[in-house]
Amino acid sequence: MVVKKPRIVIIGAGMAGLTAANKLYTATGSKDLFELCVVEGGTRIGGRINTSEFGGDRIEMGATWIHGIGGSPIHKIAQETNSLHSHQPWECMDGNTITDDSTTTIAEGGFPLPPSILHPITKLFNALMDYSQAKLPEKGQLDTFHNLAAKAASTAAASNNNKNNLVSVGSFLRQGLDAYWLSRKEEEHGEVKGYGNWSRKLLEEAIFAMHENTQRTYTSAGDLLSLDYGAESEYRMFPGEEITIAKGYLSIIEHLASVLPPGLVQLGRKVTKIEWQPVKGTTVENGCCSSRPVKLHFCDGSVMSADHVIVTVSLGVLKAAIRDHDDDDDDDHNDSGMFCPPLPPYKAEAISRLGFGVVNKLFMQLSPTTTHNHDEHTNQEGFPFLQMVFHSPQSELRHKKIPWWMRRTATLFPIYNNSSVLLSWFAGEEALALESLKDEEITSGVSSTVACFLPQWQKGSGSNKLCNGNVNSEERSHKNEVKFSKVLKSKWGTDPLFLGSYSYVAVGSSGDDLDTLAEPLPKDTASCPLQILFAGEATHRTHYSTTHGAYFSGLREANRLLQHYHCVGIYN
């Protein structure tokens, strides 16, 4: 009698899935223990990691940063594979360190902001974020801004003790800004000479909003009012600088996949249904069901049975799966959702409560015909690292040609110093809107924005007046506007394999929901155990939303299976 090897199928060839496959395949003594397979619905490996090229430069359509190099497993792999250096230009964003020398911050209308206006609000915002993330300063480092942040944190803590008064990061930040304004003298709120229709208070609020917009892209929360304040302090980052990978994030993925034999990863195999057995009734022998308890149905009509399935699809796909089931209930069809039977209510509720946002990147290549003068604010040739301080979309003072979706981004900058490729980040509603815009609409909107913020950068614009609402900027000739030759944008929100970018803990949710999502099924281990396991960035309580969180989750589930089969000494 031939003894069947346990079959482990991993759904998804992204960071979590390939990390799990790498661990299971390379663990000492496990090669002859399992029958291993990775099925990927798309035509490439990498998932939300997608290295590409644009204008001759290497760019990232998805995951971009190593978030802290101290102790990061991604940084360790990048070092071991010599991926941190490249002869080809890459999206290194060497201007992305916000310093006085590298950053140009301009208010709408072409008004460069001096440190005396910019720095206090920036320091306040950073102090508030430090408190929300439980990064408390040393006693000797307390300043006015940290004291204001501490007061706002105390108010938030009191509100959090009242379960009927849920606190968001957005409301906490605004409490801090209000406290700052209350601490100011009346005369300090007045007009600022030389800044057109901007008052000091309007400038301060717009600078604060700029930092909020940047924070939205960090977290993927389309609105910081939906980001839970209590859970923010659980999020952990590695120490050290944040860097990009010279040879591309895909080099990490390719390293993980390189040990797997040909055919183990199957592309174009989209799973449409996962059938599993939540109740007793299946015989268990040697830690495995005598007949494989899980059946995977694919879009081409084929079926595959498995003893264990590691699900690494995005939280967005899981959210769609439970929505589909809810729709099926309305139509009295209970077997057409992704999971059959449906996920237990406690897990479906956790999926529903957690947040999953859309973050998109917009790359634009400057036309070779676009010329400009030496930039007086950055003291260097080339497009500056631009931080944009906008009037609010509702303000009557706003420049009408700047589209609403540009007002919700904070930056426009070259992907490395003097690169002709510019990049902006978008989150939430405008990120989704960007996906459906035509290239012509995008180039027109960005050109109008640049014309208003950097009129001195335009070709032949030395004599043009700033478009501060008091002059007729419409008279500027079209030939003097900045031109773009190519546009490339990510579309994570509408991609059916992802339906978004990364997770966050929404108001009404908590880190407990991340842990609940990570729990394997069925919960009753007296029946056939470990049928469905869950991995991916949204299953890691302290490193969600990151590639290293996905990496750790893949290791966790691989180790869970190795331990289940008593591979002592293998899984540590």
pLDDT band at 144 (very low <50, low <70, confident <90, very high): confident
3-state secondary structure labels for all residues of 42-78: CCCCCCCCCEEEECCEEEECCCCCECCCCCCHHHHHH
39-54 residue pLDDT tens: 999 999 999 999 999 9
HSE-CB at 364 with a 13 A cutoff on CA atoms is: 24
The pLDDT mean for the chain works out to 87
CA distances from 438 to 3, 361, 441 (A): 58, 15, 5
Query: Residue 260: which of 538, 512, 8 has the closest Cα?
Result: 8
pTM of structure: 0.91
pLDDT digits (tens, 9 = 90+) for 451-480: 999 987 654 443 334 444 444 444 444 445
**What is the average per-residue pLDDT within 439-449?**
97
Across the range 26-38, mean pLDDT stands at 83
Tell me what percent of the residues of the chain surpass a pLDDT of 90.
71
CA distance 384 to 413: 6
Residue 74: predicted pLDDT: 98
What is the number of residues in the chain? 572
pLDDT score of 101: 60
Give the distance, in angstroms, between the CA of residue 288 and the centroid of all CA atoms in the same chain: 38
pLDDT in tens, 472-526: 444 444 445 688 999 999 999 999 999 999 999 999 999 999 999 999 999 876 6
pLDDT tens figures, 396-409: 999 999 999 999 99
pLDDT (tens digit per residue) in 336-376: 689 999 999 999 999 999 999 999 999 999 998 765 544 44
> What share of the chain in percent tops pLDDT 70?
83
Q: Higher-confidence residue: 3 or 138?
A: 138
